[in-house]
A = this chain, B = another copy of it.
Amino acid sequence: MSRREAEEGRYAYEGLDRVIHEKARLGVLVALLARPRGLPFSELKRLCGLTDGNLSRHLAVLQEDGLIAMDKRLEANRSLTTCRLTSSGRKRFSDYLAALERVVKDAKEASAAASAPSRPSAA
């Protein structure tokens, strides 16, 4: 078979980095993408609809993997944690997003192919 669809590993999507692909972490990264100076923990929690525990757990995974950096400081006697994408994190997230766009594009093409009337391949 020579059709593009028939290529080995055509739908393997190796670019979908598992650390980034997890649903909650994906939301966190999109939220941080627009804010080069970072977001406070409380705001991130609110935007992503996560509990303290869940957000902490996902931030730890992202930090361990070098995707984000966390800055803790005291403000008016309260501890304030700010999270931001690292530059390498931004690059990795951008590569991931390119892979994600490919999934969307493939799915659209697949959907269009499925609903098209069948026709001879030489037509």
Contact = CB atoms under 8 A, between A and B. Distances in A.
A35 B113 CA distance: 8
A46 interface: yes
A1 to B, nearest CB: 9
A103 B18 contact: no
Contact of A110 (B9, B34, B106, B111): B34
A18 B21 CA distance: 11
Contacts of A48: 9-12
A34 to B, nearest CB: 4
Nearest to A17: B23
B21 A23 contact: yes
Nearest to A48: B11
Contacts of A6: 47
A66 interface: no
Interface in A28-60: 28, 30-31, 33-36, 46-50
Contacts of A9: 46-49
A8 B48 CA distance: 7
Given A21-B21, A21-B23, A100-B100, A107 B13 contact: no
A104 B97 contact: yes
